[in-house]
Structure 1
Amino acid sequence: MSPSGGTDINGALQTAIGLLNNYVTHNDIEDRSVSLIIFLTDGKPTVGETHTLKILNNTKEAARGRICIFTIGIGNDVDFKLLEKLSLENCGLTRRVHEEEDAGSQLIGFYDEIRTPLLSDIRIDYPPGIVEHATKTLFPNYFNGSEIIIAGKLADRKVEQLPVEVTASNSKKFVMLKTKVPVEPQKVGNDVPGSPRPKGDGQGDPNHIKRLWSYLTVKELLSSWVQSNDEQEKEQLRQRAQALAVNYHFLTPFTSMKLKKPTLHTGGLEDIHGMSAATGPEMVMQSLRGAGLQPGPTLKKPYDPRIKISKTSVDGDPHFVVDFPLSKLTVCFNIDGQPGDILRLVSDHVHSGVTVNGELIGAPAPPSGHKKQRTYFRTITILINKPERSYLEITPNRVILDGGNRLVLPCNQSVVVGSRGLEVSVSANANVTVTIQGTIAFVILIHLYKNPAPFQRNHLGFYISNSRGLSSNCHGLLGQFLNQDAKLIQEPAGHSKNLTNSPLPPAGGTSETILKVKGHRVPVVWKQRKIYNGEEQIDCWFARNNAAKLIDGEYKDYLASHPFDTEMTLGSETSSLNS
């Protein structure tokens, strides 16, 4: 690629689609996998095909509904309407970055939104005649951290349960969920139970669900208006959107806001709430949270935790350490994974409800090293299924906690949050401690570099501080050893000697040291390793060759398909993300 001074939007998209289609065709990619293109531009089409309609038609014909295109316009010279149409017609999203804004942070934020697709082709169906005027029920993709909202009207207000059928797919399977959702009895005034009633705007008691429905409907009408090329249809869509927006006091491109002279309000939150005439989705969602809903994570004052150092861990390149306290033995091994690999570290989804996955990032090896590349953990994902479903996604820069209410915590500030038996403590730029039901605790070390060498990357280390709450059936690269015993013997046979308390293997001879654990016999050699930012040096018995013979199966059996995958093919774990 080389700059030519022009902007060939059509050519760039055709090339990208061709490359992606060719990769999918020749690499045995599942038909249900999600193919995405992120298109960035800072200009209007000036080279090649410049006609907007032809660019749209060419792109749609090439993508054939199999590729979602996400567009980002940077600066003030972009044709934002073209970018918006490209995304709307190809199941994507559009973002605009103004010149005076920090483009880098916005691009990272946008990528974080879409980097983990969990489901595709999501369809929500209701039995005929039960729901009227429902908003959109077909969604191309569902990403980690996103949400799907549907609003509509019940045809029979006396119905006690609403049957719902959800179908979707991911790269591995087709998913179907059938359930019946309890319908709460309607309250007087059509209000949400427990929510404050706005006053002072002359509108009486608004129905917040109806307001949400109108907001979603206006958004869909505006999207249809952007996509339409028929003037008569566009005018009809404009009139419908305008009528809804005026009726429910939303500010849109087709409505204006009339400012009134401000008056002094001495009341509380209810008075302030009533002053709002045009609200976005955030305000709507806040008004839906009634007193009957369980509170989300609550912020507490920061503190400096005293963390118990655990030997059982994985850190660095990545180096695994397993402690067998009853045997007074420590075993270590390496896993030479590939960038992008997601390793199953702890798998106890069926029993304690806990799964821990770690995603690798790559870096060049040092010039004097024997390895071709280094790998580090850039993300640790902790999934919790009991007593309620929640997850944590931890990177060197932030912690995402989602237990019903999504909370994003920066790693450069000390803070503690807790909710329903889950506590997360962030010690600024040092570590994150996750405690589950008081019986399971993980410590995630944050490794940051001010002036990193080419082979260094900001990364994470994972330490198991308390495993009492994990079951005897726990598995994973670390989890499989938590409830096991081990011992050392010296071979050849007939001269076995218990070496449990020996710091060094015996000298001389042709004998080798064998570790016996879980019915495996593993040749090991003595090593020293530093853990916990080099603060502690340990003696350990090292198993070579990607822990061959030490772990159940082989390294590839511990690869997860995505960060939120809870399936485990080894051990007794047979659960899945959809269980």
Structure 2
Amino acid sequence: MFYSEVDGDPHFVVQLPKLKQNLCFTVDGRANDVLRLLEDSERGIMVDGHLMWAPSNQDVEDRSRTYFDQITISTRGGTGVLGSIMITLSLDAVVVEGEGRDTLHTNQEGSVTRQGVMVSMESRDDFHQSCWIELTKDIRFLVLFHHYRHPSYLQMAHLGFYIADGQGLSLSTKGLLGQFQHADMRVTLMKDPRDTLRQPSKEGVLRWGVIHMPVTLQDKTLKDTVRKGHLGSCWVVPKAQVERLLGHPYQSYVVDHL
């Protein structure tokens, strides 16, 4: 199970450890934007993702869809003796740069270690590929490469980024996903006289410091392991409340380039 992730359109999932449940929200991105997913200035770690355009659903043609087609992970020698390294992941290759350059192809298994950072490519078949990035013993990321055997009009190959282990990230970690790494969030159930032990309330209030907002428990397809996505429960933040949850407008997470 992962602490937090961004995958899909892009859909964000944050684990709520005390509840052993997840918090889900969606950010409406713009094609060709580069989003700062994680920034830990103390450890010198940054993760950025490039969004590509995808066709709209037929029933909501005015809403654009986007997916990540490139993820860049860089370190610049913060605390923890991380060297200067850049890892660029695209749909067909993983390029590792730092005192040299190595390329791992996504359709082949392989690994490379540079300046103490280990990058391992795993490929079960042409449609199930993953790359583990271990920066330190307590900072591990995972990137999944999503391909479709017979893609429909709406299905496009894309990447998903996962914080598999973020215990080593500092308390000052920021970014669309990183800001939730050490967040103390909880959900209080809203009582309803119709609720029973077999059917508890599906309405709740998310509490995070001074932020209180309504959330709804829904069944979502979750990809919280390297295996195939599965149906699971998730507390969903209403779209109108996402910016308040983030604490900043979408544009503040957009960076100039990868």
Asked if 1:484 is matched to 2:208, the reply is no
1:543-575: per-residue Cα shift (whole Å, max 9, x none)? 122612211212221111111xxxxxxxxxxxx
1:443-469: per-residue Cα shift (whole Å, max 9, x none)? 100011244323222100111100011
> What is the Cα deviation at residue 328 of structure 1?
3.0
Does the CA contact (< 8 Å) of 1:421 and 1:438 recur in 2? no
Pick one of 209, 230, 253 that aligns with 1:558: 253
Asked if 1:344 is matched to 2:36, the reply is yes
> What is the Cα deviation at residue 502 of structure 1?
10
1:95-154: per-residue Cα shift (whole Å, max 9, x none)? xxxxxxxxxxxxxxxxxxxxxxxxxxxxxxxxxxxxxxxxxxxxxxxxxxxxxxxxxxxx
Pick one of 128, 141, 144 that aligns with 1:445: 144
**Which residue matches 1:353?**
44
Q: What TM-score comes out, normalization by structure 2 length?
A: 0.86
The 5-angstrom pairing of residues 536-551 of structure 1 reads: 536-545=230-239, 547-551=242-246
**Which residue matches 1:505?**
201
Pick one of 80, 90, 100 that aligns with 1:395: 90
**DSSP 3-state at the match of 1:557:** helix
Pick one of 2, 7, 15 that aligns with 1:323: 15
1:14-66: per-residue Cα shift (whole Å, max 9, x none)? xxxxxxxxxxxxxxxxxxxxxxxxxxxxxxxxxxxxxxxxxxxxxxxxxxxxx
Asked if 1:436 is matched to 2:135, the reply is yes
**DSSP 3-state at the match of 1:337:** coil
Give the distance between the partners of 1:440 and 1:502, measured in 2 at CA.
Answer: 39
Asked if 1:377 is matched to 2:68, the reply is yes
The 5-angstrom pairing of residues 152-551 of structure 1 reads: 309-310=1-2, 312-348=4-40, 350-369=41-60, 372-386=63-77, 387-428=82-123, 429=126, 430-489=129-188, 504-505=200-201, 513-532=204-223, 534-545=228-239, 547-551=242-246
**DSSP 3-state at the match of 2:179:** helix
Give the distance between the partners of 1:446 and 1:355, measured in 2 at CA.
Answer: 20
> What is the Cα deviation at residue 327 of structure 1?
3.9
Bigger radius of gyration, 1 or 2?
A: 1
Does the CA contact (< 8 Å) of 1:425 and 1:432 recur in 2? yes
1:39-94: per-residue Cα shift (whole Å, max 9, x none)? xxxxxxxxxxxxxxxxxxxxxxxxxxxxxxxxxxxxxxxxxxxxxxxxxxxxxxxx
Going from structure 1 to structure 2, the CA distance change for 1:503 and 1:388 (only over 3 Å counts) comes to farther
Does the CA contact (< 8 Å) of 1:344 and 1:476 recur in 2? yes
Q: Partner letter of residue 32 of structure 2? A: G
> What is the Cα deviation at residue 370 of structure 1?
6.3
Going from structure 1 to structure 2, the CA distance change for 1:375 and 1:502 (only over 3 Å counts) comes to farther
Give the distance between the partners of 2:173 and 2:31, measured in 1 at CA.
Answer: 26
> What is the Cα deviation at residue 371 of structure 1?
5.7
- Greater helix share, 1 or 2? 1
Give the distance between the partners of 1:503 and 1:411, measured in 2 at CA.
Answer: 44
Q: What TM-score comes out, normalization by structure 1 length?
A: 0.40
Going from structure 1 to structure 2, the CA distance change for 1:434 and 1:504 (only over 3 Å counts) comes to farther
> What is the Cα deviation at residue 471 of structure 1?
0.4
Q: Partner letter of residue 14 of structure 2? A: V
Give the distance between the partners of 1:479 and 1:461, measured in 2 at CA.
Answer: 15
Does the CA contact (< 8 Å) of 1:327 and 1:486 recur in 2? no
- Greater strand share, 1 or 2? 2
Tell me which of the two structures has the higher relative contact order, counting C-alpha pairs closer than 8 angstroms and 6 or more residues apart: 2
Give the distance between the partners of 1:310 and 1:537, measured in 2 at CA.
Answer: 16
Give the distance between the partners of 2:209 and 2:173, measured in 1 at CA.
Answer: 13
Q: Which runs of 5+ in 1 are unaligned?
A: 1-308, 507-511, 564-579
1:180-208: per-residue Cα shift (whole Å, max 9, x none)? xxxxxxxxxxxxxxxxxxxxxxxxxxxxx
> What is the Cα deviation at residue 540 of structure 1?
1.1
Going from structure 1 to structure 2, the CA distance change for 1:448 and 1:560 (only over 3 Å counts) comes to same
Does the CA contact (< 8 Å) of 1:374 and 1:455 recur in 2? no
1:314-339: per-residue Cα shift (whole Å, max 9, x none)? 11111100002134342100011110
Give the distance between the partners of 1:477 and 1:518, measured in 2 at CA.
Answer: 18
**DSSP 3-state at the match of 2:95:** strand
**DSSP 3-state at the match of 1:550:** helix
Going from structure 1 to structure 2, the CA distance change for 1:371 and 1:543 (only over 3 Å counts) comes to farther
Give the distance between the partners of 2:179 and 2:198, measured in 1 at CA.
Answer: 25
**DSSP 3-state at the match of 2:251:** helix
Q: Partner letter of residue 359 of structure 1? A: H
**DSSP 3-state at the match of 1:472:** coil
Going from structure 1 to structure 2, the CA distance change for 1:376 and 1:503 (only over 3 Å counts) comes to farther
Give the distance between the partners of 1:458 and 1:423, measured in 2 at CA.
Answer: 25
Does the CA contact (< 8 Å) of 1:521 and 1:549 recur in 2? no
1:214-233: per-residue Cα shift (whole Å, max 9, x none)? xxxxxxxxxxxxxxxxxxxx
